[in-house]
Structure 1
Amino acid sequence: MISRSSIGVVGRPDLRKPVLMCCSPSLPKARAGSLASHYLTNAIRFWRFRMPLTVFRNGTVWTGLPQLDSAAEPNALAVRNGRVVAVGAEAEALAAAEEVVDLGGGLLMPAFGDGHCHPAQGGFERLGPRVRGCADLAELIAEVGRYVDEHPEADWIIGAGYDATLTSDGLFDARWLDAVVPDRPVALRAWDYHTLWCNTEAMRRAGIDDSVVDTERGRFARRPDDSLMGTMIEWDAVDAVLGAVPARTTQERIRALAVATEAYAAAGAAWIQDAWVEADEVDAYLEAARRGELKTRVNLALRADPSRWRAQLAQFSADQKRVQAAGFERLTLRTVKFFIDGIIENRTAALLEPYADDPCCSGMPVWPADELRAALVEMDALGLQPHLHAIGDAGVRTALDALAHLREACGARDRRPVIAHVQMVDPKDLDRFSQLGVIANIEPLWLQSDPVMTQLTVPRIGDTRARLQYPLGSLVGSGARVSFGSDWPVSDHRPLTGLPVAVTRQTSQREPHGGWLPEQRIDVETAMSCYTAGVAYQALADDRGVLAPGRVADLVWLDRDLRSCDPHDIPDVAVLGTWLAGERTYTPGA
């Protein structure tokens, strides 16, 4: 098991004290300077002594910083003006503060982050139809029927999250949906968002019939008689249907973002990376921020399209400037997203060797290598942080090669590139993450031998290559930067459900005994750091992720110390409060 002592915590205090400018053109320079100095001094005094002071006490404070074994852990923390001003005995001495929060013996720690998620999609899933979690095909189809009956006004029925393992091959027939919805189009994304299942009316509205042909970036599943089945696999095939769907309104998108960020605040998170933003979604984010609907910070990653990325450059630059000019503390646009490949379960992840169950297939690369390198260079000129989805071992190598070229072509700088998911890594490529300064963003809930793994993943790649999956312990041990995410709504957004899987490599039923690939387990504190300091490093936020004087007071209060729990009990730990820069964003029952 890899321990937290194997990794470092990066960050530096940045007090960012306010600066007051007071200068009138009608005053002599000396007089103006004197007044400016006077007002500046008073402003700083006011900031130090008059802003509300909150003291958290009577609990354990996990700062996220290295702790000497002989030193007692702090039991109090003081916050003023959104930043930590004291920890431990110094904070306890301020207990006569304007506000005191009694931790009741619980744990106060840096707020969690999510380094890779899709909040709008998660919000829309919660609004229905609720197909995620349906136990069998009959329940799934019945839920679609229920939603249709309750929404006679809906022209299209759009949903997501159905379980691809409900059929043996992950393929679903349009006729099954036709039985309950014959006259309105239905389009449902699978749990992985790389596959779409639709009814016959949806295909008709989209102008798709049996004459449609597969492309390099899309496949249309067919029945034995060669007729279209109704399952669309990857970009071009999925978009062939979704392109006919009416666009969501700005109000609908704002509602989904409000629902999603409220869910994250309730889970103890203060920052999330939206890892797939289209140009038409930026306005909704700006309006949501203006209305105060964002309960977490959100950084946007605009998706680069390999077929039109050059045309996107001007729009990306304009959107980046719009978001920056708006000046919302909770909204940034600093990142560009690249899909390097697909997923193993539908044989679209790019592999170095063919799939075990299809020797003619090695996956579906999304980008030609030369185009990817050129695009990274141009996006780097805009100052955008690269965020690359890579699942297969060939996909990961392609991503690393492209980032190595970027560094060679544009020089070394603090760009903090991210490769997300990192499912299969050839052992030859493990050390390249730390060598190239690449952050490995991993979704810990995937690090288990669950039905998706046993029924779909392992049969595709075979037992030998299955052991190359999610080398978390090896990456941490190599000195690579690691951040955690959820890919929500693909999997549960709550860090307290993902954290124990990184520690045990077991399912909730404690299977298998000793853990799946137990050599890749990490300890609890390391996992906590991946969700806090690791995500803050990815967010380019060196003043967040740990608790020390001068750092931003992003906090989560838990009812017990995660380090003293049986890891399998961690999902039952209650979040009692979340604070973003000292402002409470979640209170149970509120």
Structure 2
Amino acid sequence: MPVNGFADLVLIHGVVYTADDRDTVGEAVAARGGRFVFVGDNAGVLCYIGPSTKVVDLQGKMVIPGLLDTHMHPPGLSLSELYEVQLSNISSLEGYLQAVTEFVNRYPDSKSVYGRGWSWGAFSGEELGKGPRKEYLDAIRADIPIILRANDGHSLWVNSEALAVNGINEATVAPEGGVIEKDQASGALWGVLKESAMRLVDLPEYTLSQYQTAMLEFQAKMHRFGITGLLCIAGYFAPSVLQALEQLDHDGKLTLRIRAAVAIRAEGDLAGQFAVLDELRSRCQSPYLQITTAKFFTDGVVEGGTSHLLAPYTRETGKGDNYYGVFLWPEDKLRQAFIMANRRNLQIYVHSTGDASTRKVLNALADTRANVPAGDYRNTITHLQLVDPADVPRFKELQVIASVQPYWHFKGPHWWESVDYRILGERAKAEYPLGSLFASGVTVTSSSDYPVTNIPNPMRAIEIGVTRNMDDGRHYGVEDITSMEDERYLLNPRERATVKQMLRSFTIQAAYAMFMESETGSIEVGKLADMAVLDQDVLSVKATDIDKTKVVMTFIDGKVVLHQP
């Protein structure tokens, strides 16, 4: 009999990838009291099996640590799936208009219409730079506001009534860092608001009960993907999101390990914003829910022409010959905000897509290190669409974590050539460094930015990180590929990662980024028994088949939260 008695749970006859310091692969695990008490071979686990032990014969299936996503926006699409127009799986203007029309016809008494998910890749010509015109929506309903958020979350497409009820006209001045698009010839409002200008429009308000319902839907979806924890980017809706999570935690219904980030804006009083963050942090200090992080936006998105670049955009952006995008913070104020965050023992987490933005952020983080007491801050930059090669080693030098979204690391059909290459030129071929970050010894974590990625299945991200190619043509309405060398969608194969690197980016390295590595992120004796069972061994299957992997069981604290045979 083992010390302290038999196990509550034993998984045997499998392939157990531990993500420990040696990348050990075993055959069996045992858990008791919600923690691992054995990790090893099939023979060694037998003495942990008692009369009440639940035994799962894996029959060759793979066990991995519970997957952790370091950039999500709960409840993801769950609110819009319940209450709004669905645009995420549509890729044409006609499809968007049909979806809005059907929604309006279904709910004719609606006082307003909201939705999310339109893609820049659905447009061409002037609309590729400015976005779709308001007149399309006016033709559906001109008497109520229609407000549709882009899939990247950085632009709103609205009708004339939405502009009118929010007091936006041709004379309205956009907030700093924002864009109110206008017709270049007439000066008339176009119907698209970008970045901080989106805050000029009232977005939907949901009840606490609606948020809780959506959160439970979201949580169930995460478990289906083997996800047991995440960094919640609460953003500007922090109070509502966090209140719903707090209530679920209080009621014992929260079965995700959540660390949360609250946004700090460039405009406004920093001390006041941090005071609000401090108050929220004091409320959320349970094992499942903690606020650890201050989130900053320093630029926008390439497709909106709001990423901040070292070299100008092409003329195709429609902004002239010397347009470099937008840096959203005065640099001195950004340094001040960073220092305030770290002095409060808050992690700094920065949205930065452009190479100029990332350089300025790294400079500010270097200044911060020189002006705050030495500490374990684990500051992070996310997205990193363009990074100057000279700046890659600085991540390790400054102990900055890179939170990347591998889901986007290939030449997307109906997107890359018509959007990225069109407005970036040859630089688009160097987008999304990954292998070079690993090679430079940078701590890399993987994430989805869900709902920007509308199917946040880590198996897809792992495959794309390994192949730098399309994962499944069905998601994009094209024929699937059979070889990772297929050149149609291949993006810079020198930036490929290994399967183990990708697994670690979703497990132990993500746990480190969220200050949870002593409790989870790897399968080791003493750690919490969070794990996922996969129907195939992703270390041995063909790279282009990784995305076909199905999660059959997910465990939190050694308890089953998902079982799908």
Provide the residue aligned with 1:125 in structure 2.
80
- 2:15 corresponds to which of 60, 68, 74: 60
Matched letter for residue 531 of structure 1:
F
Matched letter for residue 561 of structure 1:
D
Q: Cα 1:461–1:135, aligned 2, differ >3 Å: closer, same or farther?
A: closer
User: What is the RMSD of the two structures over their aligned residues, measured on CA atoms?
Assistant: 2.1
After TM superposition, the structure 1 = structure 2 runs for residues 140-159 of structure 1, keeping only pairs within 5 Å, are 140-159=96-115
Percent identity between matched residues is 30
Provide the residue aligned with 1:350 in structure 2.
308
Shift of 1:506: 0.7
* Offset from partner CA, 1:132-190 (integer Å, 9 cap, x none): 11132111111112222223453221111111111114311111112222222111110
TM-score by length of 2: 0.90
Provide the residue aligned with 2:514 in structure 1.
539
Name the CA distance, whole Å, in 1 between partners of 2:364 and 2:8.
48
Name the CA distance, whole Å, in 1 between partners of 2:366 and 2:226.
35
**Conserved? CA contact 2:257–2:288, under 8 Å:** yes
Unaligned stretches of 5+ residues in structure 2: 472-479
* Offset from partner CA, 1:447-473 (integer Å, 9 cap, x none): 10113322111222210x224321111
Shift of 1:365: 0.8
**Conserved? CA contact 2:411–2:489, under 8 Å:** no
Shift of 1:100: 0.6
Length, aligned pairs only:
534
Q: Cα 1:188–1:513, aligned 2, differ >3 Å: closer, same or farther?
A: closer
Name the CA distance, whole Å, in 1 between partners of 2:76 and 2:301.
18
- Once the two structures are overlaid, the 10-residue window that deviates more, 550-559 or 209-218, is 209-218
**Conserved? CA contact 1:174–1:230, under 8 Å:** yes
- 1:257 corresponds to which of 215, 218, 224: 215
> What secondary structure sits across from 2:312 in the alignment?
coil
Shift of 1:383: 1.5
Provide the residue aligned with 1:461 in structure 2.
424
Shift of 1:246: 4.8
- 2:178 corresponds to which of 194, 218, 225: 218
> What secondary structure sits across from 1:379 in the alignment?
helix
> What secondary structure sits across from 2:313 in the alignment?
coil
Corresponding position: 1:550 with 2:526: yes
Shift of 1:225: 2.4
- 1:229 corresponds to which of 171, 175, 190: 190
**Conserved? CA contact 1:253–1:284, under 8 Å:** yes
Name the CA distance, whole Å, in 1 between partners of 2:22 and 2:365.
35
**Greater C-alpha Rg:** 1
TM-score by length of 1: 0.87
Matched letter for residue 573 of structure 1:
T
Shift of 1:215: 4.4
Provide the residue aligned with 1:85 in structure 2.
37
Provide the residue aligned with 2:554 in structure 1.
578
Name the CA distance, whole Å, in 2 between partners of 1:574 and 1:92.
27
Name the CA distance, whole Å, in 2 between partners of 1:286 and 1:548.
29
Shift of 1:368: 0.8
Provide the residue aligned with 1:500 in structure 2.
463
Provide the residue aligned with 1:471 in structure 2.
433
- 2:91 corresponds to which of 135, 143, 159: 135
Matched letter for residue 284 of structure 2:
V
Shift of 1:293: 3.9
> What secondary structure sits across from 2:423 in the alignment?
helix
**Conserved? CA contact 1:111–1:532, under 8 Å:** yes
Corresponding position: 1:401 with 2:363: yes
Shift of 1:66: 5.4
Unaligned stretches of 5+ residues in structure 1: 1-44
Corresponding position: 1:275 with 2:247: no
Q: Cα 1:184–1:533, aligned 2, differ >3 Å: closer, same or farther?
A: same
Q: Cα 1:157–1:121, aligned 2, differ >3 Å: closer, same or farther?
A: farther
After TM superposition, the structure 1 = structure 2 runs for residues 12-27 of structure 1, keeping only pairs within 5 Å, are none
Provide the residue aligned with 1:75 in structure 2.
27
Provide the residue aligned with 2:291 in structure 1.
333
Provide the residue aligned with 2:391 in structure 1.
429
Q: Cα 1:549–1:333, aligned 2, differ >3 Å: closer, same or farther?
A: same
Name the CA distance, whole Å, in 2 between partners of 1:249 and 1:218.
29
After TM superposition, the structure 1 = structure 2 runs for residues 105-116 of structure 1, keeping only pairs within 5 Å, are 105-116=60-71
Shift of 1:46: 13
Matched letter for residue 535 of structure 1:
A
Corresponding position: 1:516 with 2:468: no
Provide the residue aligned with 2:165 in structure 1.
205
Provide the residue aligned with 2:474 in structure 1.
none
Shift of 1:272: 0.8
Provide the residue aligned with 1:444 in structure 2.
406
Provide the residue aligned with 2:277 in structure 1.
316
**Conserved? CA contact 1:506–1:516, under 8 Å:** yes
Name the CA distance, whole Å, in 2 between partners of 1:415 and 1:56.
36
